[in-house]
């Protein structure tokens, strides 16, 4: 769905806008305003989605660092058999800040911005285009389009996520968790991975990233509009209040966190694992092998490590990115309308 539709969506039957305002068309028709263009130029929509999510990433990257550490802590070890350096979101932020400094809380930011720009630019731009041409009008079309858009974005941006994970896991030995790749920086990480494993090595872990983003994207895009409709129907806030979108984003954030966290843990493990001389992972053979090993050694709750920072990160990231995207799209749509 487009950002404009998310903030202005009203149902055609159960809820209508006040009499002074013309009713909005159904969400599946993909029209935000009859006076505005049906859809933005695809490259422009890609750019706006990328910029919005990059803006959100600057504020939420410290939580991404903490989430990565928590998910790697105690890897393939039974609970209680390892030292816990990180015990929660606030404590982990304090430990990282005290040990690595303020810059440590923003580890991997530059490549994180690259990942957000590529992944969410493709994801939101593709979904906006599909929704604009009416392909989401069919039953289940929104879920399928959201999952497809997420898979496409995850595949294209996978090398950036790989490097981001490596850099965010790196720290001093006293608080290190998971394998330490010891890259000297973003460019050094890309070069060293390429020299060691070739082009295919840059997409190591993509088999965990694609289902992760597919599930998260489908859950987010499918639940946000439903949550917004529900909040609007009960008239907790005025129809055009930003609090409607904020509440819907928080509800959507819960759904995304619960459904995506296990996939996020597996994705982080697959990306960060060391490789042998044959370019094979030393810990996991793939998605299912990682899933089984985590459940066997760490229990079912091992799949929910880092759920705290995942939620704390996703909620503001969803709100910031979608609101920024909507504001920029509205301006672009008005400009296009004024140009005829």
Q: How far apart are CA 263 and CA 282, in angstroms?
A: 20
Q: Tens digits of per-residue pLDDT, 154-185?
A: 999 999 999 999 999 999 999 999 999 999 99
The answer to whether residue 5 scores a pLDDT higher than 70 is no
Q: How far apart are CA 325 and CA 337, in angstroms?
A: 18
Q: Span 42-338: which CATH code? A: 1.50.40.10
Structure tokens, 91: 């404590």
Predicted pLDDT at 131? 77
Q: Where is 9: in which H helix or E strand?
A: none
SS (H, E, C) 302-315: HHHCCHHHHHHHHH
The answer to whether residue 24 scores a pLDDT higher than 50 is no
The answer to whether residue 138 scores a pLDDT higher than 90 is no
- Rounded percentage of the chain residues whose pLDDT exceeds 90: 46
- Residue 275 bridge partners (DSSP): 281
Residue 307, burial from CB neighbour count under 10 angstroms (0-12, 13-18, 19+): buried
Over residues 63-90, mean pLDDT: 92
Structure tokens, 254: 């819960």
Q: How far apart are CA 283 and CA 185, in angstroms?
A: 25
2-40: b (≥16 Cβ within 10 Å) or e = bbbbbbbbbbeeebeeeeeeeebbebbbbbbbeebbebb
The answer to whether residue 329 scores a pLDDT higher than 70 is no
Residues 6+ apart with CB under 8 A from 278: none
Q: How far apart are CA 26 and CA 212, in angstroms?
A: 29
The 10 Å Cβ neighbour count of residue 106 is: 17
pLDDT classification of 324: cutoffs 50, 70, 90: low
The answer to whether residue 73 scores a pLDDT higher than 60 is yes
Over residues 208-235, mean pLDDT: 83
Q: How far apart are CA 175 and CA 85, in angstroms?
A: 6
Number of H helices and number of E strands within the chain? 10, 0
Over residues 310-314, mean pLDDT: 75
Q: How far apart are CA 255 and CA 219, in angstroms?
A: 7
Find, among 53, 56, 217, 249, the residue nearest to 147 by Cα: 217
The answer to whether residue 34 scores a pLDDT higher than 60 is no
Over residues 16-42, mean pLDDT: 44
The answer to whether residue 70 scores a pLDDT higher than 70 is yes
| Residue 32 DSSP symbol | S
The answer to whether 151 and 75 are in contact (CB under 8 A) is no
Residues 6+ apart with CB under 8 A from 305: 70, 71, 73, 74, 265, 298
Written as one string, the DSSP assignment of 138-204 is STTHHHHHHHHHHHHHHHHHHHHHHHHHHHHH---GGG--S-----SSHHHHHHHHHHHHHHHHTTT
Q: How far apart are CA 137 and CA 157, in angstroms?
A: 28
Per the prediction, the chain carries an average pLDDT of: 81
The answer to whether residue 91 scores a pLDDT higher than 60 is yes
């Amino acid at each position: 769905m487009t950002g404009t539709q998310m903030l202005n969506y009203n149902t055609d039957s159960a809820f209508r806008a006040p009499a002074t305002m013309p009713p909005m068309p159904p969400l599946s028709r993909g029209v935000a305003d009859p006076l505005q263009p049906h859809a933005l130029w695809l490259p422009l929509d890609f750019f706006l989605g990328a910029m919005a999510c990059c803006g959100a990433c600057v504020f939420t990257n410290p939580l991404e660092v903490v989430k990565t550490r928590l998910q790697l802590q105690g890897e393939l070890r039974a609970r209680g058999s390892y030292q816990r350096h990180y015990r929660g979101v606030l404590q982990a932020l304090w430990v990282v800040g005290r040990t690595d400094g303020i810059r440590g809380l923003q580890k991997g930011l530059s490549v994180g911005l690259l990942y957000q720009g590529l992944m969410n630019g493709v994801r939101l731009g593709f979904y906006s285009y599909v929704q604009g041409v009416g392909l989401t009008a069919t039953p289940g079309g929104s879920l399928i389009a959201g999952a497809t858009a997420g898979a496409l974005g995850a595949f294209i941006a996978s090398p950036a996520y790989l490097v981001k994970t490596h850099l965010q896991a790196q720290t001093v030995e006293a608080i290190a968790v998971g394998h330490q790749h010891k890259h000297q920086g973003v460019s050094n990480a890309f070069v060293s991975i390429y020299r060691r494993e070739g082009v295919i090595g840059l997409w190591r872990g993509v088999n965990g990233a694609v289902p992760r983003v597919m599930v998260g994207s489908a859950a987010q895009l499918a639940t946000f509009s439903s949550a917004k409709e529900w909040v609007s129907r009960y008239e907790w806030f005025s129809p055009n209040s930003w609090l409607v979108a904020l509440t819907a984003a928080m509800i959507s954030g819960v759904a995304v966190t619960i459904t995506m966290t296990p996939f996020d843990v597996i994705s982080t493990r697959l990306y960060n694992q060391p490789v042998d001389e044959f370019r094979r992972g030393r810990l996991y053979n793939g998605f299912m092998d990682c899933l089984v090993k985590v459940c066997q050694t760490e229990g079912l709750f091992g799949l929910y490590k880092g759920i705290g920072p995942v939620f704390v990160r996703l909620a503001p990231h969803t709100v910031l990115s979608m609101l920024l995207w909507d504001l920029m799209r509205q301006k672009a749509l008005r400009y296009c309308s004024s140009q005829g």
